[in-house]
A and B are shown apart, each in its own frame.
Chain A
Amino acid sequence: MNLLTTILSGFREIRAHWFRSALTMFGVICGVASLVTMAAFVKGKENLLRESLAQSGGLERITVESEDDLPDYQKHLEDEIRGITLKDVYALRNNAPLVYNVTPIIEKRSFRSDLRVTRKGKSTRYTLLQGTWPESLDIMEHEIEHGRMFSDIEDHLAKNVCVIGTEVRNSLFGEYDEYGETIVPIDETIFINYKPFKIVGMLKEYMTEEDRKKKEEAKKNKENKERGFDWRSMRYKDSNSRRSMIVYSSKNSSILIPLNTLVSKLDSSFESGSKMDRSLSELTMKIFDVSLLEKSLQQVRNVLLRTHNGLEDFEFETQESFADDITQAIYNERTSGMFIAGICLLVGGIGIINIMLSSISERVREIGIRKSIGATNLDVFSQILTESVVLAVSGGIIGLISSPFLIDALASYAPDTTPPILTVESMVIGFSFSAITGSLAGLIPAIKAAKLDPIEALRYD
């Protein structure tokens, strides 16, 4: 008996009892649909988190910050603390070959009220001012969309130039002009702590792929024109997603100016003395090879211990913990989703076993007839097994077809979750799970049918 004939007779069997078959399939439909839907939501979240990890510099980026709290055995040396200085930057550049683009950063935040960014009576709500070197563009994963980054010469000469994020532009200029065109305020002047700065470049707008799509759609619909697209309307409830949104929003709210400019023109706390001794907010760098993270950290530590006279007044911050959090969160969600889908499939499978058992007890005579005209035990076995697989796989396919609708329905019901992404991978897994369920469920009934004695079966009424 060839496979095609067997499969066709399986479909005939389903059609003959379509209502019963539909009820039986329902469990598998639910199982596969929930599996695929769950995978889509987890994937959506994972993508969001991974994108934001990459946006904040990826695993290669490490940051060194000052640490006022010394280890116990150095407590008595607390007044020796000088924090991170430009000396450290040069020392690392010369002596730590496992890292590159060592870049100093001094940060000022508007909510600490020592920073005001204004223009024509407008001011920004939240701004992150960073005095740094041009290399920070690469390290912070910044991209300039309009204009240019300030240069080393401008840094050296402490010029009043700045590169702004789109959120700064939105606050000071608005996003669109009266013709609906995007405003590009290159060569305009803004005031940072009442000192004029020329805008030489504007960063691109950072947002998740999904948000970008939504924004483009909204733009097409000519909505949000006056207000501009407000990323703050995108609120995510769980902490990981919120954390990733902060990555985007703080990048959009950045103003980058040359380090020298910040130190010599904006820093009221800066007294006389060497620029080299000015303490930095942080210094940041990239490592060449993520697999050498531990060694690289050790190397940086050794260099810094030397420049700090053995004082451990600094600490490392890597993205590893963020990456671990992502992996853990995704693993948790995936496990719980798999558990639910697994239960659905188990219930569906038991439904199939049940219906196949009752189906063969209705068809004992048929099995007897088939055997009397030459069906082998294997023929009968594969017939019943195929019927079961056909039943389950049909349910699986219906589940796959219905999963996009289920995803849409759930996404519109709960719009503040991360946008789901339907993957082919999850559909393949869902489909194979339905096939496996079908074959496992068909096993017992098929063995039972194959074992029937033809004489008994022929006599059966």
Chain B
Amino acid sequence: MGDLGEVVGAPAAEGHKDIFQQNKMPLLELRDIHKTYHLGGETIRALDGVSLDIDSGEFISIIGPSGSGKSTLMHIIGCLDSPTSGTINLDGVMIHNASARQLASIRNKKIGFVFQFFNLLPKLTVRQNVELPMIYSGFSSKERRERAMNALESVDMEDRSKHRPSQLSGGQQQRTAIARALVNNPKIIFADEPTGNLDSNTGERILQMFDKLHTEGKTVMLVTHDPDIAAVTPRRIEIRDGKIANEIDPKLSGQTPRFNIGTNN
């Protein structure tokens, strides 16, 4: 158990390189996840038996064309949706049969979301936006302010804390959103097409920011349709028709597939 504690507790800088550690408990464990929708008498299998383990400190991307089920997968892992069948264990909590209230609390404390359209509240200032998750977890206003400023500092936005989102560029808005995702110190950060609404230079900076978070030990999951973006992550999972079609995992193969996944697909 000392072994395990060491691995989980110190994923730090070279966590993903530690490819020989196979016996540690995964942060996220999906087993045979199914999700079906009924649309006008038709049954749509959005997810059709997905099983997946994600370790703490991993930087992975979920890739697939639109309609492949990758968003559904992210919503289910992100506790916004629940699966039709299958089990999910997130950090020791079986979230597939948790109540709505528990799910809200998990979203609040263990998960950070970064969206394509930033999804900041336009009426609030940058700092108030970052404080928002902490309002639902019951921090005092002084604590909220301190932590929000720390998070903004980590994304170089502290000098914009009094601006409204409409006064910011897309990149700045996305950095604010990242600060908001980080502020409650979540176990895992989901980024759904985080660069989809940004020009390529800004997008590059945002991706670097995720890479930096990863090297600082955060678990980050990118969801994208773009193989070039997915290429920044060591581990890539390709979803097609609700199934895992292809997976590149440096832990299993030993290869370092940086920036070459695009040619494989």
Bind each other:
yes
A interface residues (Cβ-Cβ under 8 A, vs B): 1-2, 5, 12, 16, 365-366, 368-379, 454-455, 458
Contact of B136 among A12, A16, A373, A455 (CB under 8 A): A373
Point out the residues of chain A lying under 8 angstroms from B184, CB to CB: 374
Point out the residues of chain B lying under 8 angstroms from A379, CB to CB: 104, 136
B91 at the interface (CB under 8 A from A): no
Point out the residues of chain B lying under 8 angstroms from A365, CB to CB: 119
B109 at the interface (CB under 8 A from A): yes
* A356 CA to B104 CA, complexed, in Å: 24
User: Cβ of A454 and Cβ of B80 under 8 Å apart?
Assistant: yes
Min Cβ gap B203→A in Å is 21
Known: A454-B80, A455-B75, A455-B80. A376 touches B136 (CB 8 A): yes
The B135-150 residues at the A interface (CB cut-off 8 A) are 135-138, 141
Closest to A16 in B: B123
Point out the residues of chain B lying under 8 angstroms from A373, CB to CB: 107-108, 113, 132-133, 136, 180
Known: A454-B80, A455-B80. A374 touches B137 (CB 8 A): yes
Point out the residues of chain A lying under 8 angstroms from B123, CB to CB: 12, 16
Point out the residues of chain A lying under 8 angstroms from B136, CB to CB: 1, 370, 373-376, 379
* A454 CA to B100 CA, complexed, in Å: 11
Min Cβ gap A18→B in Å is 13
Point out the residues of chain B lying under 8 angstroms from A371, CB to CB: 80, 104, 107
Closest to B105 in A: A374
Min Cβ gap B122→A in Å is 9
B38 at the interface (CB under 8 A from A): no
Known: A365-B119, A458-B119. A375 touches B104 (CB 8 A): yes
The B92-139 residues at the A interface (CB cut-off 8 A) are 100-101, 104-105, 107-109, 113, 115, 119-121, 123, 132-133, 135-138
B193 at the interface (CB under 8 A from A): no
B29 at the interface (CB under 8 A from A): no
User: Cβ of B121 and Cβ of A366 under 8 Å apart?
Assistant: yes
Could you list 29 A-B pairs, sorted by A, with CB under 8 Å? A1-B135, A1-B136, A2-B138, A365-B119, A368-B119, A369-B119, A369-B120, A369-B121, A371-B80, A371-B104, A372-B78, A372-B80, A373-B108, A373-B132, A373-B133, A373-B136, A374-B105, A374-B108, A374-B184, A375-B104, A375-B136, A377-B100, A378-B101, A379-B104, A379-B136, A454-B80, A455-B75, A455-B80, A458-B119
B81 at the interface (CB under 8 A from A): yes
Min Cβ gap B68→A in Å is 16
Other CB < 8 Å A-B pairs besides A374-B109, A375-B104, 16 of them?
A: A1-B136, A2-B138, A365-B119, A369-B121, A372-B107, A372-B113, A374-B107, A374-B108, A374-B133, A376-B136, A377-B101, A378-B101, A379-B104, A455-B80, A458-B115, A458-B119
The B47-93 residues at the A interface (CB cut-off 8 A) are 75, 78, 80-81
The 4 closest A-B pairs by CB, nearest first: A374-B108, A376-B104, A373-B133, A374-B136
Contact of B100 among A16, A366, A376, A455 (CB under 8 A): A376
User: Cβ of B132 and Cβ of A370 under 8 Å apart?
Assistant: yes
Min Cβ gap B11→A in Å is 24
Min Cβ gap B218→A in Å is 17
User: Cβ of B119 and Cβ of A377 under 8 Å apart?
Assistant: no
Min Cβ gap A363→B in Å is 9
Point out the residues of chain A lying under 8 angstroms from B133, CB to CB: 373-374
Q: B166-180 toward A: CB 8 Å interface, digit per residue (1/0)?
A: 000000000000001
Min Cβ gap B40→A in Å is 17
Closest to B115 in A: A458
Closest to A376 in B: B104
Choose among A365, A371, A376, A379 the residue with the greatest number of B CB atoms under 10 Å from its CB: A376
User: Cβ of B135 and Cβ of A376 under 8 Å apart?
Assistant: no
* A379 CA to B226 CA, complexed, in Å: 36
* A143 CA to B70 CA, complexed, in Å: 94
Q: B13-32 toward A: CB 8 Å interface, digit per residue (1/0)?
A: 00000000000000000000
Closest to A374 in B: B108
* A377 CA to B78 CA, complexed, in Å: 17
* A377 CA to B184 CA, complexed, in Å: 20
* A445 CA to B184 CA, complexed, in Å: 30
* A242 CA to B136 CA, complexed, in Å: 64
* A387 CA to B17 CA, complexed, in Å: 52
Closest to A454 in B: B80
Point out the residues of chain A lying under 8 angstroms from B138, CB to CB: 1-2
Point out the residues of chain A lying under 8 angstroms from B100, CB to CB: 376-377
Point out the residues of chain A lying under 8 angstroms from B141, CB to CB: 5
Choose among A1, A373, A375, A454 the residue with the greatest number of B CB atoms under 10 Å from its CB: A373
* A453 CA to B81 CA, complexed, in Å: 9
* A422 CA to B115 CA, complexed, in Å: 57
Point out the residues of chain A lying under 8 angstroms from B78, CB to CB: 372
* A137 CA to B120 CA, complexed, in Å: 81
* A370 CA to B137 CA, complexed, in Å: 12
Min Cβ gap A461→B in Å is 9
* A16 CA to B124 CA, complexed, in Å: 11
